[in-house]
Amino acid sequence: MPPSAIKPFRRHIFVCVNKRDGKPACEDHDAKAALAKAKEAMKALPFSKRDGVRLSQSGCLGQCEHGPVAVVYPSGKWISYASADELVHFVLEAIEAAD
């Protein structure tokens, strides 16, 4: 098999935005709005800082009791955040650590 031309991300941050009928979930805490704020903060960075970093919404990450949650790979660092600003700080810190 020939080598892949796919360039891996330096960091990939997943933010759970899952919604479950009748059960607690991250979207119950406005996870989509927090993700949107984090994406705006990321876009405000110079391209050279955010190059190779991906911020994605995800379905359930299996940590509903800690929600809302996000995780960054490859470090495997998790956060349970209480506000959109806290998520923004986590994302910007992960990007900084990718250098």
Query: What confidence score (pLDDT) does residue 99 get?
Result: 62
**Number of helices followed by number of strands (H, E) in the chain:** 3, 4
Query: What confidence score (pLDDT) does residue 21 get?
Result: 87
Helix (H) or strand (E) segment spanning residue 86: helix 84-97
**In the numeric block, which tokens belong to residue 11?**
């960091």
In angstroms, rounded to a whole number, what is the distance separating the alpha carbons of residues 96 and 30?
Answer: 25
Domain residue spans in the chain?
11-97
Assigned CATH topology for domain 11-97? Glutaredoxin (3.40.30)
Query: What confidence score (pLDDT) does residue 4 get?
Result: 87
Task: Give the chain's residues under pLDDT 50.
Answer: none
Please report which residue ranges of 44-83 form alpha helices under DSSP H.
Answer: 47-50
